[in-house]
Amino acid sequence: MHISELDTPSVVVDLDVLERNLDRMAAYSAKAGIKLRPHIKTHKTPELALRQVALGAVGIAAAKPGEAAIMAAAGLDDIFIAYPIVAPHKAEAFLALSDTARLSISVDSLEAAECMAKASDARGYDLPILVELDVGFGRCGVQNASAAIELAQQIEKLPGAHFGGLMYYPGHMMVPIEQQNIFLPRVNAAVESAYEAITKAGLTVPVVSGGSTPMAYRSEEFSHLTEIRPGMYLLNDRNLVVGGFAALEECALSVITTVVSNAVPNRVIHDGGSKTFSSDRLLTGDHIGHGLVLQDSDAIFYGLSEEHGHLDVTKSTRTYRLGERLRILPNHVCATINMHDTLYGVRGDQVETVWTVAARGRVQ
């Protein structure tokens, strides 16, 4: 099928770019000796997770048991949940996957550890439970080394579980390099402090799981890091480009929309609104705009209705005709994919693959 036969708005993935991105991270991971465990929250698509593992990823990270179940059913056999679970039925749903997959999880409370261990013990499983450490993002995670060691020791005592290592998420590091360089020693100090305290207490720390796409290619600068969990690297987005973490030609995903109105002077309306792109703002640079029109960097994607994308074309030197198709780079690739049930893999102008975003919309 030719790309022009796709309805709009449709989400397309340039397979050449995707494959280069996958290869680059796989090669970096191998060379650095740091294991790659991609977070599937970005694509929620089993076929893409399988490609990541085929290229050397040790397994995947997911946010929910429901997503993990979709991935396990597709053959993914090493699944880490990077999210604190405190509900017994969710723990049981996750542990039900232990027949076919190696499982692990991170927690930041004894309650979550007990919840997971109980479900694990009921299955006769020995679940590695990592302790989440807050390294500066201020979302989840124990606050210091003594809290980390206390929780690690508590986990060791739980039937059905053992201490699996340290986990953190440096979500505050999608910032300019000067700020990164201020944060990095603090992250390392927090990790080193917890690592040494736990080691001194006689426990081993088999895994230190960190990483995110913005910091992925600086992983060697992070202390004790054994594993990274980037999600977006295979596709990239406008946030990463504007922030300086990816080049425009490394962006594999875009949305094809159609110009539907140009009745208002200096405005062009296309059929990609917030229900196509999400309302996720640009978190880098000047924080302005809802996406980049790849044909026209002078157009400002200034507004979103639910089904209307609003372009300000005051500074544009091209004309827009009704029915014309645009290709737009979204601000946030994870949020955009989450609005859709289907992704189209394209090679040049040909649609080569159709993927279902099978793990989208899970409640559990």
Give the binding site for a copy of itself (CB under 8 A).
Answer: 7-10, 41, 63-64, 83-87, 89-90, 108-109, 111-112, 132, 134, 138-143, 147, 171, 258-265, 267, 269, 274-275, 278-281, 303, 305-308, 310, 322-323, 334-335, 338-342, 361, 363-364
Least distance CB 152 / a copy of itself (angstroms): 14
Q: How far apart are the first and last CA of the chain?
A: 36
Q: Which CB sits closer to a copy of itself, 209 or 338?
A: 338
Minimum separation from the CB atom of position 15 to a copy of itself (A): 20
Give the shortest CB-201-to-a copy of itself separation in angstroms: 20
Closer CB to a copy of itself, residue 218 or residue 267? 267
What residues are paired with 86 via a beta bridge?
Answer: none
Nearer to a copy of itself among residue 202 and residue 323 (C-beta)? 323
Q: Measured from the CB atom, is 120 or 276 closer to a copy of itself?
A: 276
Residue placing its CB nearer to a copy of itself in the complex, 145 or 259: 259
Residues 139/168, Cβ–Cβ less than 8 Å:
no
* Cβ pair 218, 187 in contact under 8 A: no
Locus of tokens 């405005």: 267
SS3 129: strand
- The closest of 16, 45, 9 to 349, measured between CA atoms, is 16
Looking at beta carbons only, is 32 or 86 nearer to a copy of itself?
Answer: 86
153 vs 76: CA distance, rounded Å: 30
Q: How far is the CB of 249 from a copy of itself (least distance, A)?
A: 26
Q: Residues 218, 26: contact at Cβ < 8 Å?
A: no
178 vs 264 by CB, closer to a copy of itself: 264
How far apart are CB 259 and a copy of itself at their closest, in Å? 8
| Element spanning 29, H or E | helix 15-32
Tokens of 24: 């680059």
Residue 242 and residue 285 in contact, taking contact as beta carbons nearer than 8 Å: yes
Residue 118 CA: distances (Å) to CA of 66, 185, 293: 19, 37, 51
Least distance CB 273 / a copy of itself (angstroms):
9
Alpha-carbon distance of 339 to 280, in angstroms, equals 12
- Closer CB to a copy of itself, residue 74 or residue 283? 283
At residue 262, φ and ψ (nearest 5 deg) are -140, 30
Task: Tell me the HSE value of 324 on the side-chain side, using a 13 A CA sphere.
Answer: 15
Spatial distance between the Cα atoms of 343 and 345, rounded to a whole number of angstroms: 7
